[in-house]
Every structure is written in C-alpha cells, then in structure tokens.
Amino acid sequence: VTVNVDYINITINDVYTTITSKGLLGYNAVGQVAGLGFEYRLPSAQALLYEMSLMIGTSSTQVSDMFRNGTTPGGDADFGSVIRAAQITPSVVSDFDVDGKFNDAPATINAPVEVHHNAYAWSAAPYRKFVIVKYEIKNTGSSALNNLYAGILADWDVPNADASKNKAAYDATNKMGYVWNTVTSGPYAAIKLLSNTAPAVHYALDNAPGGVGGVNVYSDFTTAEKYTVLSTNRPTAGDTSAQGNDVMDCVSSGPFTVNAGSSITVAFALIGGDNLVDIQASACAAQAKYDNGCVVGVNDVETNNFWMYNYPNPSTGSFNINYNVIGYDKAAIRIMNALGQTVMIFDNLAQGKNTLAVDGSALAAGYYFYQLKAGEAVLTKKITIVK
C-alpha cells in the first residue's frame, strides 16, 4: 500500500492518464506502475503508453528529465517535487484542474529551473479526448539560460500489445506529433504544442537497433542525444517496413532565452483518438480551449487536378467555393467551425471544375474552415464570416 502518493489520476473523459509531481506523465515509477499510463477508452480501454516525461535542456551536456538513459536503472531522475500535484477544488479552468511545482535540483548538472505545472481536463464533447498540460518554467539561477528547449517525449506503444507495428509522423498545421498502428484501424496517440511563445520542434525516433538513421536509443540514450531530440526535427519514424516498428515521439518548443528570475510558458495537449481526422479535431478543440484559435487539416495537397478557393472572403454569410476534382473518387467539402466541428457537408461532388454555392447565413460570425477531401487527398482553407 502506497500512502500519501505524489501523483494524481485523471479519469473524467475518454483519455485516462496520471500527472505526477516530478515531470513524469502516465506513470510515476519504472515498469509501468504507479499510475494509469495513457488509455484511450473508446470503444473499450486501450493502453497506449510505455513511458513519458517532460524534458528541459540548454545544451548537449545539460538536459533535465525523468526518461530512461540506457545505463542507470530507472533512467534519469532530474526532477524533484516542491509542491505535490493536487486537484484544485473547485475547478477554475476546466472540469478537473491540477496544480503543482517541481525543480531540477536533483540533477547532476541542472539548468537550474523551477516548474509550476498545471493539467486541465473536460468531460463534455468536443473536449473529451485530450488533457492539457502547461509548464511555467522559471530560471532560478543567476545568469541567463540560452538555447533552452522544453518538450514532452513519449514512448508510445499503440496499443501496448502490438508496439512493433507503429509509425510516427508530424502534422505541421496543428504542431502535432502522432503515432498509430499500421495493422489495426485505431487508435491514435498524439502530442500537440499549444503555446506559441517559440517555434514547434518535432523528432520521431525509431526504437530499433541502430536508430534507423536517427538518434539510437536502442541500447543507450545520452544527454547529448536527448538534446538533439529536443532541438532538431525528424518528421517520421517506423519506416523500416510497411508495418513499421517500435517508435517514440517528441514534441518540443524553443529556442528560448530565459533571463535570471524570468519565466517562459509551454503547453501541450495529450490526445487519443480513433483516427487521424479524429485527433485533428481534438487538436483543434484543445487549441480553442487554450487560445480560441486553431486550424484543422494535415497532408494538404494542391495540384492542377485538386484545388479550391472561395469568394468573397470575408463573407457576410453566403459565399462560393470554386474547386477542381479530376481523378479523385468520392470528393466532399465540409465546413467546420473553430472547434473543428462540422457544421455543413456537401457529399458526392461532381468531377471537374465547379462552383459550390454555400448559404452560410445561419452561421455565427467568426472563423471557419472549408475542407476538400477525396481519398487521402485533403485541402483545408479558412474563411471569416462577418455580420
């Protein structure tokens, strides 16, 4: 029996996970114990995570994290609790607010930083498939921290029983790294950057012998390699075969310069979903919760045989969408609001160049997105409705 635990479980929506007091996410201890991991629970509970940790680094010799390193049993243990993570009652931001504080004083080489962290979860659609985590990172040293990157690294196993058939990719539109299983039809797991205080960085890792051209974490994971993962881009992993392999994924932000006594904020959404479109919609909804603005759409492709534009833009309600679809089956256009919810859809579009008249007079003022989709081809653009 563990008494007075220093972690808290979130179980109010379709993703169950655990927020710890020391930078770990999902589990509070090695071996997938002391926590819920990360479960996507539709249509039934599916475990998707082996290990996940916040990482903060300033150089190839200084990275603070709680992730495995390949040499020390249990991995790095660079964060220590200052104020235990606890639920805030009554909630202020979401249906389940978490607040806590930790620092990297235990690290052999620290930044040094103190991290005030929060987590938020909602029980109502369309916000049921993610948890937001936010980190306010304060420089507690006497000199500036340069080239600082902060991110979340996850060893996703989608699902846990079949992690050897995973692939990882990046949705640049939504600043989201995601992992899926090439054999099953779902689920998907994703990390999305919400904050816009510095550029997004994404590094997909192959957890396979030799690293498959990327950082080799199969037998070791050095501080220098962790900083590479935090600070450079690698778009995909799992490309060793059509079925993929075991992968990991990191989404981070930087570089930051943090003066002594100053702070920066980074925030992420941890997402589970049925498919790519589903996690895109949740990414959009999470962004809306964070700052009331987002974009849905990935793999956008525009060619001579697949294009569209609209006029007028802005529009007072009614507008036209000119499009061209040649050689694509089952083309459709849908209109989505800023939360990623479909408000209008037009199926079975005719081939060739056409004009679609949209009566949007019933739409409220604001930003909307219109998306042309046919097979795997997707094209998303934005329109403003004014009243």
Question: Is the pLDDT score of 40 beyond 70?
Answer: yes
The tens digit of pLDDT for each residue in 73-102 reads 778 999 999 999 999 988 888 999 999 999
Question: Is the pLDDT score of 341 beyond 80?
Answer: no
pLDDT score recorded for residue 299: 44
> 135-149, 202-216, 301-315, 321-335 — which is least confidently predicted?
301-315
Neighbours of 307 (CB within 10 A): 15
What percent of the chain lies above the pLDDT cut of 90? Answer: 66
pLDDT band, very low/low/confident/very high, at 294 (cuts 50, 70, 90): very low
pLDDT score recorded for residue 297: 41
pLDDT band, very low/low/confident/very high, at 376 (cuts 50, 70, 90): low
Neighbours of 89 (CB within 10 A): 8
Higher pLDDT, 268 or 220: 268
> 179-188, 275-284, 294-303, 335-344 — which is least confidently predicted?
294-303
Mean pLDDT, to the nearest integer, of 352-373? 89
CA distance 215 to 205: 7
pLDDT score recorded for residue 105: 97
Task: Enter the pTM of the model.
Answer: 0.77
CA distance 128 to 96: 12
**DSSP classification of residue 223:** H
CA distance 355 to 357: 6
CA distance 43 to 186: 11
**How distant is the alpha carbon of residue 220 from its chain centre?**
25
Mean pLDDT, to the nearest integer, of 268-289? 93
Higher pLDDT, 313 or 346: 346
The tens digit of pLDDT for each residue in 192-238 reads 999 999 999 999 999 988 899 999 998 889 999 999 999 999 999 99
pLDDT score recorded for residue 296: 41
> 280-284, 313-317, 325-329, 354-358 — which is least confidently predicted?
325-329
pLDDT score recorded for residue 293: 37
Question: Is the pLDDT score of 2 beyond 80?
Answer: no
**DSSP classification of residue 234:** B
Mean pLDDT, to the nearest integer, of 41-52? 94
Question: Is the pLDDT score of 55 beyond 70?
Answer: yes
pLDDT score recorded for residue 289: 87
pLDDT band, very low/low/confident/very high, at 295 (cuts 50, 70, 90): very low
H-only helix segments in 217-329: 223-231, 276-291
State the average pLDDT for the chain: 91
CA distance 227 to 62: 8
Distances from the Cα of 160 to the Cα of 50, 164, 201, 212, angstroms:
7, 9, 26, 22
Question: Is the pLDDT score of 108 beyond 50?
Answer: yes
Higher pLDDT, 299 or 62: 62
> 111-120, 163-172, 237-246, 372-381 — which is least confidently predicted?
372-381
> 207-221, 251-265, 281-295, 373-387 — which is least confidently predicted?
281-295
pLDDT score recorded for residue 354: 92
pLDDT score recorded for residue 292: 56
pLDDT band, very low/low/confident/very high, at 3 (cuts 50, 70, 90): low
Identity at 262, one-letter amino acid code: S
pLDDT score recorded for residue 32: 87
